[in-house]
Amino acid sequence: MTDGAVSPTTSGAPTMVQLLDADGVRHEHPEHHADLEPDELLGLLRDLVLLRRFDSEAEALQRTGELGLWVGTRGQEASQIGAARAVRDQDHLFPTYRDHGATLTREVDPLHILSIYRGIDHGGWDPVAHGVHPYTLVIAAQLLPAVGYAMGVQRDGAMGTGDPARDTAVLAYLGDGATSQGEASEALGWAAVYNAPVVFFCQNNQWAISEPVERQARVPLHRRAEGHGMPGVMVDGNDVLAVLSVVRSALDRARAGGGPTFVEAWTYRMGAHTTSDDPTRYRDAVEVEQWREKDPVERLRTYLRAEGVLDDDFEEQLAAESEALAERIRAGVRGMTDPDPVGMFDHAYAEPHAQVEEERDAFLAAWAQHEQDLEQSPAGGGR
């Protein structure tokens, strides 16, 4: 995958890169090896476990009314983490609204994700400092900006220099449903035409709310890449080692100036689309059970146990760390205060806008008057 030629995995039968099968058994692959140190392997397990705990706690917070909505990650941990752990500090991520695993690996405070779903803001993190673009709720709309960002990288001379601290790539997340959007096709075409250093990481979790992937395409998603002029690679999305390896080589290729790659991660959304969804209306419990046996966390755990890398001490520490995270999230979300509503006027424009300023002043005056009326009303006493 270095000469821009289409990878052999673009077509043909057993196309999926897999290094760790559902039973946690390690397999060799001619291109992908994921030779990781024990610390790195344990680091991946820690990421997966913490993400799962983060997700379950967030779901619980939604169920108790602390969050308005939650978009769950269960089942997709290996995809989200494996891809995100393949990036370098200088790289930039464009996640979807489900890719909390990606966001968390960039040292974003988990509360800055949860504030979105509590209705506090649209994402509290600094996208520049963390190298993570804000969540984009319009399906596929992050992809063209991701390509443009990569074109900016090219113009900055931060591609193909051979300096590992300088060469930069973009990792753009999307889902199976997003591949149907026109903008997704445009993004693939542009990336190829301009040889932009971007990797499209598509988590095919089989369902776009209630619509199966068969409703989105008549060919395997990764095969679309070839028509746009880039390699398409399919990887077992529940195998964190394979995802890490495939995305890492695709990012290396992009950074070196070899052009974009499309990666399809074959995974499954174990939970509902969001907490507002009811998947029992459209999919079979048997299917969910089949995927449960391919669980991304358990297979890594099994492998690391068998390898003697993982022991009880680490498990205990990780369990304690998970509970501490959950506790911090719980307290943090419950302690979130509503923002000052006048803030909505502050960032609509970078430079003054006469009508917005007028509306802001009128809003403040009306609000102050309202507060004063409350103070003076017989029931009074303000708040």
CB-based contacts of 257, cutoff 8 Å, min separation 6: 159, 160, 195, 197
Task: Say whether residue 146 binds another protein (CB under 8 A).
Answer: yes
**Candidate ranges 12-20, 237-245, 348-356, 375-383; the one touching another protein (CB under 8 A):** 348-356
CB-based contacts of 272, cutoff 8 Å, min separation 6: 72, 278, 279
Task: Say whether residue 144 binds another protein (CB under 8 A).
Answer: yes
| Helix pair 296-306, 77-84: axis angle to 10 deg | 70
Q: Indicate which residue of 32, 98, 273, 299 is catalytic.
A: 273
Write the interaction track for another protein spanning residues 95-124; mark x where CB under 8 A is met and - where it is not: --------------------------xxxx
> Quick check: is 269 catalytic?
yes
**Candidate ranges 105-113, 141-149, 199-207, 285-293; the one touching another protein (CB under 8 A):** 141-149
- Comparing CA positions, the residue from 197, 238, 199 lying closest to residue 81 is 238
* Alpha-carbon gap, residue 247 to 82, rounded angstroms: 8
**Candidate ranges 13-21, 51-59, 151-159, 213-221; the one touching another protein (CB under 8 A):** 151-159
For residue 50, CA distances in Å to 29, 66, 104, 325 come to 29, 20, 10, 8
Determine whether 64 is exposed, middle or buried from the number of CB atoms within 10 Å of its CB (0-12, 13-18, 19+).
exposed
**DSSP assignment letter at 89:** T
Q: How far is the CB of 126 from another protein (least distance, A)?
A: 5
Write the interaction track for another protein spanning residues 162-201; mark x where CB under 8 A is met and - where it is not: --------------------xx--xx-xx--x--------
Q: Indicate which residue of 122, 282, 292, 370 is catalytic.
A: 282
- Comparing CA positions, the residue from 207, 224, 209, 245 lying closest to residue 78 is 245
Q: Out of 147, 247, 304, 326, point to the residue binding another protein (CB under 8 A).
A: 147
Q: Out of 353, 371, 372, 374, point to the residue binding another protein (CB under 8 A).
A: 353
> Do residues 211 and 177 lie in contact, with contact meaning Cβ atoms separated by under 8 Å?
yes
Task: Say whether residue 148 binds another protein (CB under 8 A).
Answer: yes
Amino acid letter, residue 31: E
Task: Say whether residue 134 binds another protein (CB under 8 A).
Answer: yes
Task: Say whether residue 362 binds another protein (CB under 8 A).
Answer: no
* Alpha-carbon gap, residue 300 to 35, rounded angstroms: 14
* Alpha-carbon gap, residue 149 to 170, rounded angstroms: 8
Residues 318-347 that bind another protein (CB under 8 A): 343-344, 346-347
Q: How many residues bind another protein (CB under 8 A)?
A: 44
Catalytic residues: 269, 273, 282
Interface residue list for another protein (CB under 8 A): 121-124, 126-128, 133-134, 136, 138, 141, 143-153, 155-156, 182-183, 186-187, 189-190, 193, 343-344, 346-351, 353-356
